[in-house]
Copies of this chain bind each other. A is one copy, B any other.
Amino acid sequence: MPANKQIHLDNRPQGEATAANFKLIMAQTPPLDEGQVLVRHHYLSLDPYMRGRMNDAKSYAAPQPLGQVMQGGAAGEVVESRSPRYVAGDKVVGMGGWQEYSVVNAEQPGSLRKVDTTHVPLSHYLGAVGMPGVTAWYGLVKIIEPQAGKTMVVSAATGAVGSAFGVLAKQRGCRAVGIAGGPDKCRYAVDELGFDACIDYREYKDAASLSRALRDACPDGIDGYFENVGGLVLDAVLLRMNAFGRIALCGMIAGYDGQPLPMTYPQLILTNRLKIQGFIVSEHMEVWPQALAELGTLVGTGKLRPRESVAQGIEAAPEAFLGLLKGKNFGKQLVKLV
């Protein structure tokens, strides 16, 4: 029974989340029951959606319970198995949470996914070839339904979702334009991810000036938009949407601390006959195999080279997570445990 360090949610944020919301706990892994496996976590996934669940608010998922391990994706290796489905040494991805080990009921469908690390590094199964990649795929393919030659825009363009979105859009013959924070991220978006242009939103004080920059980057207007951020960025994009444009609404990170985040001109939805649709990728498990197959091929063949920010050791998880919420990460934010 190895020792198992865990990060619990100790109390809920009042406004901005802080390190004091979390607590490090020294636990032990329990003995396995029949059908269970013990997974040693190599990587924890840190994702913006976790901030939403720290609030005690009605949302699509139940709030993260207090005094329990922070929920989230983890990738690792089976170290002990009492299930015929897994043997020690199997590389797996599941919802292990912020801890060093997890005990998983392997018989429960969807609890664990075996992955092949021959061509795709294990960590990418938490990013481009995992939930964030499928999120980008669903928004683009199922909500935006892009056509070649049309212009696709994504905010948080160098994050795990945005980078996959850009490459998926380019694969479909679209013009891909990113919005990101800072010149380094914008350069990376264009040079490494293949975006046609990337706008540094930090250079713009208001929606009107950001909208003018979008006009230059999107001379034919915007046909599809994948929203991770909300607020000023959404306002600016709405001003440039073409008739019959589509917006996949996946995150509104700008409002997670409870700030008001009004949409200034909802009239534009009417005048441009837009469709805006919110979605949660875990409610569309039917698309995962198809999406993961495409994403795995893109990563395996080097067409999608996701960048990662890697924090070391479970004690670093809270600070890395708070940095993610401020955009300090560059690409997929992970915590490496092994």
The 3 closest A-B pairs by CB, nearest first: A270-B278, A262-B262, A263-B263
Contact B283 A278 (CB under 8 A): no
> What secondary structure prevails in chain A residues at the interface with B?
loop
Report Cα–Cα, A250/B280, bound state, in Å: 26
Shortest distance in angstroms between A100's beta carbon and chain B's nearest beta carbon?
Answer: 32
A260 within 8 A of B: yes
Say how many copies of this protein the assembly contains: 2
Shortest distance in angstroms between A170's beta carbon and chain B's nearest beta carbon?
Answer: 26
Query: What total of chain A residues lie within 8 Å of the partner, measured CB to CB?
Result: 33
Report Cα–Cα, A275/B264, bound state, in Å: 18
Q: Residues of B contacting A280 with CB < 8 Å?
A: 273
A residues 69-97 in Cβ contact with B at 8 Å: none
Residues of A within 8 A of B (CB): 52, 58-60, 230, 234, 243, 249-252, 255, 260-267, 269-280, 283
Q: Residues of B contacting A279 with CB < 8 Å?
A: 273
Q: Residues of B contacting A265 with CB < 8 Å?
A: 261-262
Contact A60 B273 (CB under 8 A): yes
Q: A266-B234, A266-B262 are in contact. Are A60 and B276 (CB under 8 A)?
A: no
